Amino acid sequence: MSNRNPRSLPEQLALELTDRPQTHLYVASALTALDEAERQEIGRLCDIIDQTVVSETSITGRPWHVHLPVVWSAPSPTATQSPRDVYFDNCDHVARASGLIVVADRGGSLGAGQEFAWALALRLPILVVTTDSSPISRQISGTPALTRVRSTAGDEDLRATIVEWLADWGDAIESRARNGGGERVTALRAVQRLRAAFDTGSDSIEAIAAVANLTVDRIRQLFKPEALFACSVSELIALSGALGLEAGDALNPHRSPELTPNQRSGLAITAAEYEWAPQRVLQVEARARLELARGGTRRLPLSSIQDWVQFARRFIDT
């Protein structure tokens, strides 16, 4: 696989940032372990959710887009999507969403649970509803996130619950759809940094996968901004390390400048003279690198005892 991309970063930014829907809600539900009658009932409930969202948001003149997997990826005798296709397609839709609704009827499903986890990683507002009195996991109810769990009694109660959730969380959902670009820019630049490290290295993607303890498919997925932004810290550290990077370098390649030999010598002499504890030395050094990056120490060369004492009093002790 070649990860080289001839497009420049500004061109990629423009392409990546203009393909989001105005507002996108993803509706997750059980699909696989259902008979035909149960699947039709889930489809009917999803239609109610879709119609309610579109009706409520049409008032602004820009109805929200609602993605219904029950329409696009439900298993059927004529379905041609492979399990891998279903995974990547649904993962991509959740990554581009601004909110999630989970229909927990029939106990929900493992797939809906995975989509719930993806949405949590992206900090999306989530509504979990049930209409058939199915008990909802206490773990889901106790999740410390932007999550609301409701049991509804009939179609009208379901509609009212959706309307109430839109009233309470609609602004946050729309804001994410409008302003998610900043996060995507950060993720896109991190992807560029990871791709550059891979392109300039000599290891194959299979070797990188073995070192990172990730699959080749997962690494390819993490070279997409949406997937990278929703990945775990463990995955980012593992992939960055396998590519010879610090995880922080992937997210912020502009590292704080190192101290010069004269500055390090001055700091060491000052620490010995004033008997600074190791913790204080590290604290002073870290703040010095930050101020050097900001250009805030022009009047202090930081090469003498006097310089370092003044710097510590100004930036650490105040």
- Structure confidence by residue, pLDDT tens digits, 268-308: 999 999 999 887 888 888 788 777 776 656 667 888 999 99
Find the domain containing 277 and state its range: 261-315
Average pLDDT, the chain: 85
Q: What is the DSSP letter of 145?
A: S
Of 148, 164, 179, which residue constitutes the final position of a domain?
A: 179
Confidence of residue 71 (pLDDT cuts 50, 70, 90): confident
Say whether both 173 and 29 belong to one domain.
yes
CB 276 within 8 A of CB 270: yes
What is the reported pLDDT for 1?
38
Which of 160, 179, 198 marks a domain boundary? 179
Compute CA distances 132 → 100, 136, 160, whole Å. 20, 11, 16
**Boundary of a domain, candidates 225, 251, 277:** 251
Buried b / exposed e across 243-259, counting CB within 10 Å, b at 16+? bebebebbbeeeeeeeb
In a domain, 13, yes or no: no
Residue 82 included in any domain: yes
Please report which confidence band the pLDDT of residue 3 belongs to, taking 50, 70 and 90 as the band edges. very low
Higher per-residue pLDDT: 108 or 234 = 234
State whether 126 and 241 are in the same domain.
Answer: no
Question: Please, are residues 184 and 192 in contact by the beta-carbon 8 Å criterion?
Answer: no
- Among 6-20, 69-83, 168-182, the least confident range: 6-20
CA angle 175, 226, 91 (to 5 degrees): 100
Strands 99-103 and 126-130, bridge-based pairing: parallel
Residue by residue, DSSP assigns 42-101 as HHHHHHHHHHHHHHHHGGGT-PPEEE-HHHHT---TT----HHHHHHHHHHHHHT-SEEE
Split into its structural domains, the chain has a count of 3
Whether 144 and 225 map to the same domain: the answer is no
Please give the Cα distance from 134 to 130 (Å, whole number).
7
11 is a domain residue: no
**101 and 148 together in one domain:** yes
